[in-house]
Amino acid sequence: MEDDPLVAELNQLYLQQVTGFRLDGVVRNGDEALRFMRNRSVQLILLDLFMPKLDGMDFLKQVRSSGRSIDVIMVTAARNGNDIAKALRHGVVDYVVKPFTAERLQTALITYRERIRLLAQNDLLDQQEIDQRILTKTVAEQTELPKGLERETLRQVEEQLRQLADFTTTQQLSGEIGISRVSLRKYLAYLAEMGRVETKLTYRAIGRPVNMYRYKE
């Protein structure tokens, strides 16, 4: 939900860059959103607070009172504590302040996606596992990085690995991400150390053996 066409276009662009999401529609205010949702199953809404007719907070209250299970990420210029507290009380899963960076919005989407994926696993959990699933973040978000590694590049490496179902090589990955294989190996070694990447050594008919990598879901 976004009444600014430029911001709505940026939201769509950033959403397309994160796997696991499908855009169902873009609406300009709360009234349009309620009509749009009437006969549709919606899982997640990117919601602006300041909109004409029915604003974001009143819309959020109506969604909650309807009993529908819909998650909301607030994407808004509202940054005072009262507005943030109200949004959190009404169950928003993240709060992104305009003007935002592509990295921040994509981080919100990736974190949400991973949390939903983990919580969907219907297992009996102990406290440590519950904490992990509720508070889950990508490696790029949750740790201090070693010198020479950049958070955005690490996020791109993680995201690219997620999209590949099978083992891959540094040659393939470096072409997709746009960094050298030497630099890429440092990121892969770090992810392997954190337990998020599986490695194996493949022997080919000619030449040296090749290290291959796969993301651990």
Report the alpha-carbon distance of residue 154 to residue 103 in Å, rounded: 11
The CA R_g of the chain, rounded to the nearest whole Å, is 20
- Do residues 117 and 99 lie in contact, with contact meaning Cβ atoms separated by under 8 Å? no
Residues 46 and 11 in one domain: yes
53-57, 107-111, 191-195: lowest mean pLDDT where?
191-195
Q: Which CATH number do you get for residue 150?
A: 1.10.10.10
Q: Give residue 132's pLDDT.
A: 61
pLDDT, tens digit (0-9, with 9 covering 90-100), for 14-24: 888 788 888 88
Report the alpha-carbon distance of residue 90 to residue 60 in Å, rounded: 7
Q: Is the residue at 99 inside a domain?
A: yes
Q: Is the residue at 122 inside a domain?
A: no
Q: Give residue 129's pLDDT.
A: 67
Report the alpha-carbon distance of residue 48 to residue 57 in Å, rounded: 9
Q: Give residue 72's pLDDT.
A: 93
Residues 85 and 154 in one domain: no
Q: Which CATH number do you get for residue 25?
A: 3.40.50.2300
| Alpha-carbon distances, residue 92 vs 46, 54, 60 (angstroms) | 10, 18, 9
pTM, full prediction? 0.60
Number of domains in the chain: 2
Report the alpha-carbon distance of residue 176 to residue 170 in Å, rounded: 10
Q: Give residue 217's pLDDT.
A: 64
88-97, 148-157, 184-193, 204-213: lowest mean pLDDT where?
204-213
Residues 163 and 75 in one domain: no
Q: Is the residue at 47 inside a domain?
A: yes
Helix (H) or strand (E) holding 202: strand 197-202
Q: Is the residue at 31 inside a domain?
A: yes
**pLDDT averaged over every residue in the chain:** 82
- Domain boundaries, position 201: 142-215
Q: Give residue 136's pLDDT.
A: 53
- Do residues 191 and 158 lie in contact, with contact meaning Cβ atoms separated by under 8 Å? yes
Name the pLDDT band for 6 (thresholds 50, 70, 90): confident
Residues 193 and 154 in one domain: yes
